[in-house]
Chains A and B, each alone.
Chain A
Amino acid sequence: MSVRTTHLDAEVRAAMPALGAAAKKGLGDPALAEPVQIRASQLNQCAYCLDMHLPIARGQDVPERRLDLLSAWEEAGDAYTERERAALALTEALTVPTGGTGPAASGGRFVPDDVYRAAAEHFDGIRLAHLIALITAVNGWNRLMVTRRIPPGSTEW
């Protein structure tokens, strides 16, 4: 399996990190940002992004158990707070808006009212707007990396 292309416009390369940085700054919760980005990358099956975000999460002392159970967070009992669960449910709904046969129980066509309401209970308007932006940004990275088949760990992308 080899890379398909490493072409990417210089301005796109600059604007993507600007989007992610603005989202993370406004969310103001690095320990939450990593699990959100990892869960989206799992759903989109982006090896490059998983390889990148898991070590960052470990470096930020996100508990190992919280990373291990991420793909089954809905059944993971008390491993996650209600706030984290609300963010993960929003992540799944917003990653699978096509209504496909994807694995996300909370995904599938639009963002359901109960998913949105739960997120709005735990995040004020500004933080919620930035959480939505963060989920959107990682979905963007996932698309750029998977489509161009950038191998995990590659320094040329």
Chain B
Amino acid sequence: MTTNGTDPAPTAAAAPHPGGTAYHPEHTPRLEWAKLAPEVYRAMARLDAAARKGLDPVLLELVKIRASQLNHCAFCLDMHTKDALAAGESAERIIQLSAWEESRHFYTPKELAALELTEAVTVLTEGFVPDGVYENAAKHFEEQELAQLIAAITVINAWNRFGVACRAVPGHYRPGQHA
């Protein structure tokens, strides 16, 4: 969650603005939570490692990106879009993700079921996880894999909360940094 101390770049943007004008200045994080709560950070890392076991990494990145979009976590979007691209994911599938319901032919039925479940579990305050959404997920994932998917959605929701609350700064992540 910390920025790279050896690279005090004035902006996190990868390339100069195409129009040659200056970007808005980068903000600083509100709180360095991982330094202030190291035991919490260790528990989160442990939880993350446990939840990803047995899940297809391609599917997992799509789930993490979609949850991060819904929770508006800039830091997590920076990390997971970069990780997905580095792992060979297509730009098109990442770009279409926030409108996946209207671009279903970019995704497999299993990925679509996972995305639908991701949305229901992420927007929990709108009222439970509908039976149809759960049943469709259960059709595509056997019970143990489904439990892992539910855990993984829960864990990215947790990272999103730390990122948003502490206003973690996007742009400095390099793929594989936390691998």
Contacts and interface: CB of A to CB of B under 8 A. Distances in A.
Given A9-B53, A18-B43, A147-B150, A100 B125 contact: yes
Contacts of B148: 9
B156 to A, nearest CB: 10
A140 B157 contact: yes
A44 B128 CA distance: 8
A101 interface: yes
Interface stretch (A67-75, A77-85, A121-129): A121-129
Contacts of B128: 45, 146
B87 interface: no
Contacts, number: 159
B59 interface: no
Given A19-B40, A140-B154, A125 B31 contact: yes
A106 interface: no
A135 B164 CA distance: 13
B123 interface: yes
Interface residues of A, number: 56
A15 B45 CA distance: 9
A125 B160 contact: no
Contact of B164 (A15, A45, A111): A111
A38 to B, nearest CB: 15
Interface in B113-146: 117, 120-129, 134, 138, 143-144, 146
Q: SS class of chain A's interface: helix, strand, loop or mixed?
A: helix
B124 A45 contact: yes
Interface in A11-53: 11-12, 14-16, 18-19, 22-23, 25-26, 43-45
B27 to A, nearest CB: 11
A9 B147 contact: yes
Given A98-B125, A135-B161, A136-B162, 11 more contacts: A18-B47, A44-B125, A97-B160, A97-B164, A98-B122, A98-B123, A109-B72, A125-B31, A130-B36, A133-B37, A136-B161
11 contacts: A5-B146, A14-B50, A15-B46, A43-B125, A44-B125, A45-B124, A96-B125, A125-B36, A129-B31, A137-B158, A143-B154
Interface of B: 30-31, 33, 36-37, 39-40, 42-44, 46-47, 49-51, 53, 70-73, 117, 120-129, 134, 138, 143-144, 146-148, 150-151, 153-155, 157-158, 160-162, 164-167
